[in-house]
Chains A and B, each alone.
Chain A
Amino acid sequence: AQKVTQAQTEISVVEKEDVTLDCVYETRDTTYYLFWYKQPPSGELVFLIRRNSFDEQNEISGRYSWNFQKSTSSFNFTITASQVVDSAVYFCALSEAVNYGGSQGNLIFGKGTKLSVKP
């Protein structure tokens, strides 16, 4: 069965600190996708990144970076120099491979990590 574990329920940091959000997943599929979403207080989940199981290259986007390691089934997310606007709940998610005609809307979400960045 597929499963996503975000062991950190809540994290509190002071602005400008770096913070890493952990994500560990379980799947028997050899082809799958991993995602990170951000949920601000408004409730709308915002897509941050998608990574397929064949691409283990780390990715950096501004202050955000992601470390994907298949050997440890982890897909961690780091925010560098955190800002108050980064305060939100962050979800890691897993889905089976997206094929034409196949399911793509069935994401398995972790329970989320609530990040609070204080000024």
Chain B
Amino acid sequence: KAGVTQTPRYLIKTRGQQVTLSCSPISGHRSVSWYQQTPGQGLQFLFEYFSETQRNKGNFPGRFSGRQFSNSRSEMNVSTLELGDSALYLCASSTQGTGELFFGEGSRLTVL
């Protein structure tokens, strides 16, 4: 069974640009969550989608947005990038009710 796939794995952007990250969950998983990981703040929850609906959102500014498609694939977008957005962005998928998250290897974003 293929794991969670995130693309791209690495990317470099400059301040003010925007970025879109993609996540393909494990087949059959309908829940997708996104996390930001930085050395200072650790792992922080961004948002969760289930059946194309945002079910929960963390404490991040509106520049961070996401969506989920009918095939459960998810994207997150960060607009007007800031230096502080440099981080590893992790996507996780899960089946309903288990609470066990399966993580991808992440997309490492560097903002210059």
Q: Which residues of A contact B (CB under 8 A)?
A: 33, 35, 37, 42-47, 50, 91, 95, 98-100, 103-112
Among B31, B102, B106, B108, the residue within 8 A (CB) of A47 is B102
Residues of B within 8 A of A103 (CB): 48, 55-56
With contacts A105-B33, A106-B48, A110-B42 taken as known, whether A44 is within 8 angstroms of B99 at the C-beta atoms is no
Alpha-carbon distance A35/B33, docked complex (angstroms): 16
Alpha-carbon distance A110/B50, docked complex (angstroms): 25
Alpha-carbon distance A44/B3, docked complex (angstroms): 10
Where chain A touches its partner, the secondary structure class is loop
Alpha-carbon distance A44/B44, docked complex (angstroms): 15
Q: Which residues of B contact A (CB under 8 A)?
A: 3, 31-33, 35, 42-45, 48, 50, 55-56, 58, 88, 90, 92, 94, 96-106, 108
Residues of A within 8 A of B58 (CB): 106
Where chain B touches its partner, the secondary structure class is strand
> Do A44 and B104 have beta carbons less than 8 Å apart?
yes
Alpha-carbon distance A110/B94, docked complex (angstroms): 20
> Do A105 and B48 have beta carbons less than 8 Å apart?
yes
> Do A98 and B97 have beta carbons less than 8 Å apart?
yes
Please give the distance in Å from B58's CB to the nearest CB on chain A: 7
> Do B33 and A98 have beta carbons less than 8 Å apart?
no
Please give the distance in Å from B75's CB to the nearest CB on chain A: 16
Alpha-carbon distance A1/B102, docked complex (angstroms): 25
With a 10 A CB-CB cut-off, give which of A35, A46, A99, A105 has the most chain B CB atoms. Answer: A105
22 contacts between A and B (CB under 8 A): A37-B103, A43-B88, A43-B90, A44-B104, A44-B106, A46-B103, A47-B101, A103-B48, A104-B31, A104-B48, A104-B97, A105-B33, A105-B45, A105-B56, A105-B92, A105-B101, A106-B56, A107-B33, A107-B43, A108-B45, A109-B35, A109-B44
